[in-house]
Amino acid sequence: MPTEILPAIDPERPLLILRGVSHGYREGDRRRPVLQGVDGDIGEGRFVALLGQSGSGKSTLLNLIAGLDTADSGSIMVRGLELNRLREPERTLFRRRHIGFVYQFFNLLPTLSVLENVALPAELNGLSADASRRRAAMLLEEVGLADRLDSFPDSLSGGEQQRVALARALVHDPALILADEPTGNLDSATGRHVLALLDQSVRMRGKTLLVATHSREVAERADAVWELRDGRLMS
């Protein structure tokens, strides 16, 4: 698929602007609303924690920002690029190029080695196999896994798998990192380590981070806290 079809993002424009974002899911013959007019802005290099009760719509919002789904109405702009105007193949390219995603259950590919898992997003963005592997190895060293490059994900602990997932989210130098309960499946000490690495990606690499979480500890580290209540953001 040619990468040229993705409209350019403008580095001068605000990183993320949400205006009146609404979304619901079909339930029988009606649509049950989940998000009902979400407004919010995130500037470059900020760490925002997204809180809200179970079922309040945190994952729904992250999926919309990642371009995995299209909002029913409203506007989601990433550096001037209006996601709701993109067609499916463009949204795939947008996500591949500009988003790093960290999931609660890691989502590593079991048949690829640790190094291959991390190198893949860089290769998908057109970097050569050699350069992708070099960059992947460097990031894996930074998260303390230099000696596990040839291991397979199922031989790693949860915390190690999440560190691989974090390296994978950074390898293609995305504009925005989205993390959905990244510490939710880890014990508290391991969760703290992963949180410190996420925080480092903001403080040292200037990355922008939006983390859906139930953890007060994550919220305390963040620059700002968004809380989803009744389909809207309270800040």
Ligand X SMILES: Nc1ncnc2c1ncn2[C@@H]1O[C@H](COP(=O)(O)OP(=O)(O)OP(=O)(O)O)[C@@H](O)[C@H]1O
Q: Is 56 in the site for ligand X (CB under 6 A)?
A: yes
Interface segment toward ligand X; rule CB under 6 A; list 36-44, 54-62, 131-139, 152-160: 54-62
Please tell me the distance from the alpha carbon of residue 53 to that of residue 213, in angstroms, as a whole number: 10
Q: Tell me the torsion sign for CA atoms 225, 229, 233, 235.
A: negative
Q: If binding is defined by CB under 6 A, does position 52 make contact with ligand X?
A: yes
Contact set for ligand X, span 31-50 (CB under 6 A): 34
Structure-token pair, residue 11: 């580095």
Cα atoms in the 13 Å half-sphere on the side-chain side of 76: 24
User: How many of the chain's residues bind ligand X (CB under 6 A)?
Assistant: 11
One of 11, 55, 144, 206 touching ligand X (CB under 6 A) = 55
- Binding of residue 60 to ligand X (CB under 6 A): yes
Question: CB 228 → ligand X: shortest distance, Å?
Answer: 7
Helices (H), 66-187: 88-98, 114-124, 129-142, 158-170
Residue 234 sits in the site that holds ligand X (CB under 6 A): no
Of the candidate residues 21, 47, 58, 65, the single one contacting ligand X (CB under 6 A): 58
> How many Å apart are CA 188 and CA 186, to the nearest integer?
6
Phi, psi (degrees; rounded to nearest 5) at 11 = -60, -20
105 binds ligand X per the rule CB under 6 A: no
- The site for ligand X (CB under 6 A) is made up of 25, 34, 52, 54-60, 212
